[in-house]
Structure 1
Amino acid sequence: KALAAKLTAEFGKIDVVAGPAVGGIIPGYELARQLGARSIFAERVDGQLQFRRGFSIAEGERVLIAEDIVTTGLSFRETVEALDALPGEVVGGACIIDRSNGRADVGCKLISLAAVDFPDYDANDLPPDLAAMEAVKPGSRGLA
């Protein structure tokens, strides 16, 4: 609801919220619900995002792209490219968390609920406190 308020103030009326599967499906659906818009999502087919399942955008509809988290902006840019093949106007984008703190090129103006800046390091140039820690694969598999 808070993100929807920011988006309305920035972009005005939105007709369609589009997101990449799978990270954009739930945030896109909820943003669309809050904005009184339709929700659609793109799926990867042969390496490219495409809108399937009968999803359509009419000429003149205002489209917002939604994601859960933006890190590099790649999925966002791929969604922008998929939307270029459809009528309608991409007015901007939204995410819950912008991990790039505004640095990622997403192909349109991005509004986030929160922006953070996580440093990343080359594996051969870690700060001493990180180099002293054991590397552990993230995720929940294998945890007892």
Structure 2
Amino acid sequence: MKTPLSQRGFTLAQMLVVMGILAVLTAIAYPSYVNYVKNGRLNDAQRALIINAQNLEQHRNKHHSYKKNSTTWADLSLNATSHFCIKMQGNARGANDDKFTIKAVAFNKNHEPRVLSINQDHMLMICENSESSCDTRDAVFKNTGRSDTNCRIIN
């Protein structure tokens, strides 16, 4: 004969223990996942910068300059990734024909304040903060490299 105590299922205490375990696992896993996604996006931007730098080198080999003319940089083959805009740093007018810097800045700087840059020596830098923004319609990032702070070489 069955009594009411022999019913199948989980007790409230068992359910609370399982929920607690899931909460702890989520609290540990979610930040790791967010960092993984951010680093993947940075890697995409880094690859785009390297491709652009290689294309500028090819342009320089043909035209003896990284510029199209005295006032315009050579065109970048990749102007953006899915999360970063990519532009030359500074105006071409008056810039040295043998030097360049390309910068990648996140479209949403609240989610990713770090910026990447690469120069003619293929030196990659990551800066924790920058005044550069994708919001402007300018063809280049007008502010100087001094607007980037807490930078380090990554290569």
Taking structure 1 as the reference length, the TM-score comes to 0.22
Larger Cα-atom Rg: 2
- Specify which structure has the bigger relative contact order, considering alpha-carbon pairs within 8 angstroms and separated by 6 or more residues: 1
Structure richer in strand, relative to its length: 1
Structure richer in helix, relative to its length: 2
